[in-house]
A and B are shown apart, each in its own frame.
Chain A
Amino acid sequence: MTEIIQKVKNLSIGFKSKKGEEILILRNISTNIKKGETVGIVGESGSGKSTLALAMMGYVKHGLYTIGGECEFNSSNLLKMKNRDLEKIRGRKIAMIPQNAGQALTPNLKIGYQIDEALQLHSDLKEEEREQKISELLNKVRLPSPETIALRYPHELSGGQQQRVAVAMALAGTPDLLLLDEPTTGLDVTTQAHVLELLNFIAKDTGTSMVYVSHDLGAIAQVSDRIIVMYSGEIVLEGPSRDILKKPIHPYTYGLLKSIPKLSLAGLPQSMPGSQPQPGTMHRGCSFFDRCDFSEEKCKNNSPQLEYLEELNTSVRCFNYKSLMNDSQVNQTVNKIKTSLQDKEILNLSEVSISYAKQKLLDQVLNRISDDNPTVKDININIKKGETIALVGESGSGKSTILKSIAGLLRTKGGIIKFDQNRNLSSDLKERDPNDLRIIQLIFQNPDESLNPNHTVEEIIAQPLKLYFGLKGEELKKNIIDLLQKVRLGEFYMSRYPRQLSGGEKQRVAVARAFAAKPDIILCDEVTSALDVSVQAAVLNLLQQLKEDFGTTYIFVSHDLAVVRAISDRVAVLYQGRLCEVGPSKDVYQFPSHPYTEVLLGAVLEPDPDIKPKLVAEDIVEEKPPQKGCSFQGRCSRILGDICKNEVPPWQITNSGNSIRCHIPLKELQKDQVN
C-alpha cells in the first residue's frame, strides 16, 4: 500500500452564530491523501470544499474554528500546531496555488524576485544556484524565454501566464502536497486546457500529491485519480474518478452529472430542484433529502452514514445507493429546444464597428471617433424574431462590447444597428426614445451586482413597470406577483432583499425584471456563469420556457460552449472583435470549420475522463487585433502565409448555410477535421 501523506480524521469546522449556536461548515470529514495521487474535491459553492483544502494546510479562516478532529501531516496534527512550526511546513511541504494568481502575485515586484523570495524561504539553495533554479522552474511550467519573463511585472503577463508563475512558486519548495483552489476558474477555455495539461504533467513528473478543489467537474475529470464529492459540509461520495463520473452511485452526483450540458448533445439538460441547505439549517435527516429523486421516508429523519464498499473502492453516504448501482450509467435526457423562429428580421447589424480609443481634442470638437483599428469591426449579423443567437469567444473577443452597443451603453463608431427593419438604433442612450430602450433589456452575469442590495425584490421588479408603463398601487403589485410566478418564485419573495436569496433565486429576480419591460430582445451576458451547475440548468430551462411563452429573441453571450450548444439556434464565433464563423449551432458544433472554432471546441472540458481536450493552438494572448489581414493569424496553426497576414479573408458559405471567414478553401477546411 502506498504511503499516506495527509490524514484527515473526523474533522469538523464551524462558527458560533450571534445566538450562540454552533454552526458547522464541515461535518465529520475523514479522508486520506496518498503519495503521488491527485484528489479532486467537487461541490457547489458553500459545500465546504475550500474550507477543507485550507484545513489541510493547517489554516482555518478568520471567524471559523476547529470543533473537532484533526488534519495529520507527517504524523503531527496541523490544526494544533504553533504558527512557527506551521511556517516550516507551509511552502516547503505543502504548497497552495490560489484561484486568482493575478491577485496573489505582488504587483510591484518582478516575477523573478518573487520566485527568488519563495526559494529563499523554502529551500537551502545559495544565491548562484537560486538564479539557475528560477529559470529551471519557469521552464518547467513552460513559460517562453524564462530570462525575460523573470524580469517582468505580474501585470505584463496574461492570466494563464500568471497562473503558471503561481505554479512555479508553489513548486519552489518541492512540496509533497500541492493544494489547488479553483486554479483555472478565471481562465479562458483554451488557457484552462493548457494549464490543466501542465498540472497533469507536473504531477507525473515530480510525484507530488495534489488536492484539486473545483466546482467544475470537467476540470476535475481531466486531472484527478480520485474524487471526493461534497455536499453541505459532508463527503457524500468518494471513489476512483472514472467510476464516479461514469457510474455515480450517489443521487446528488448522479443529478449533478445529468444537469451539465454536453457538447455532443443539443438541448437543455434536466435541472435539479431546490438548492443546497444553508449551514445551520439542517438538524436531522439526509442533507440532500428535499432535492433527491430517490428519497424515502427514512431519509427525512435519519442521516445516512458514509459507507465503504469494498468491491468498488468507494464510500457513499446514502441509504439507497443500491438502486443506483444497477442502472447508474448517466443516461442524459435533454429537453429538446423548440425553435420559435420566425422569418421576420428583428435586429440587423451591418458593418458595425466599436472603438474604445480615447478621442483626440479635435475629434471631440467635431464629435467623431477616429481609430483605424477599432476593438470591434465588420460585424454583420441578421437576427430573426424568436431566435436565440449566441456570441462566443474568449475574453477580449468583443462579445460583451457588442451587447453594450446594442443596448445603447456604448456608441458605435460606424455601421448601422436596425431594429425591425426600419428603426435605427445606432445612437446611444441619450438619443433613444423610451420605447427603443424598453424593447431591449439586459440580464447580467452576476446577480449580486445587478440587483441593488438596498432594494427589496418588489422594488427591483417595480422599476421597469413604473418607468415604462406608469403602473401604481394594486395594479403594480398584481403585475409584480405575476412576474414572480412566471420565474417560479412565490409572492412572499416580494419583501426579501437580494442578500436573503440564493444565487439562482437572485438570477430569477433579474430575469423577472428584464421581462417586466415586455421587451422584444433580451441580451444575456454570461447569465449562468456565476451560478452553480445544478442551478444553471434550472435557469436555462426557465429562459427557454419564457422565450416560448413570449416569443422573445435572445442574444446570448457566453464563454461556456456547452451551455451555448444547449440553448442556441445559431452561433457567432468572434475573435479579437472580428467574426470568424456564423452558422446554425448544429453545424458549427458538428464540423467546426474555422481554425479558431476548432481550437475553442477542442479545449472544452467534459466531465468524462475518456474525452481529453485537443490542444491545437498555443494559448498566447494577443493584446490588439492585427492591423491588416485575418484576425486569427497570430495563433492559427493552419496559416497559409502572406495572404493571411495581408488580406482580410472572404466569407465562404457552406451547404448548410454556415458562413466561415477563412482563406483556406472550404473543402480543405472540412477534410482536415474529419481526421
Chain B
Amino acid sequence: MAEKRALSSAVVYRDPAAALKWLEAAFSFETTLLIEDADGNLAHAQMAWGDSLVMVGSEWTAEHKSPASIDGLMTQTVHIQLADGDGTVDAHCERARQAGAVIVAEPDMQFYGDRTYRCKDPEGHIWTVSQTLLQIAPDQWDTGDMGLKATIYKA
C-alpha cells in the first residue's frame, strides 16, 4: 500500500477534486489521503496505484500550473506500469477512453517487448501506460532501422 515513497510525482490540476474522480474512473487509482480546507478546497491528496502513489494538488503557487493553464504544455509525464495481474493495456485504454481520456497513441507493441498506449486526461496531462508482454534483453531489442543501440550500465 502506498505510504510515503522515496520518489513520487505530484500532478497539478486546476480542479483537483474533479481529477481525483477522473483518475479513479479512468485508471482505478484509489484516494488514500485527502485534506480539504475550511472552504472545501482541496489542499492535498494522494492516490494509490499498486505499491506506488501519486500526489494530486492545485495550482498552489504561480509556478505550479496545469497544462490547461499553459496551452497544453507540460514538462513531465507520469508512467503507469501494469503488472501481470492488472489486466491488459487494451482494457485499460478502453476504460480510460470511456472516462473521457483523449487517446494520443493507441495500444501498440514496442521494440522492447512492452505494449503501451498514451492518453491525455481532461486537463491535458499525458499519461503513458505500459505492460511487459515479451521479456527481451536489451541486446535482443528489435530496433529495426531506428539506428538505436542499447547500452546497459551496471550499477
Verify that A and B bind, or say they do not.
Answer: no
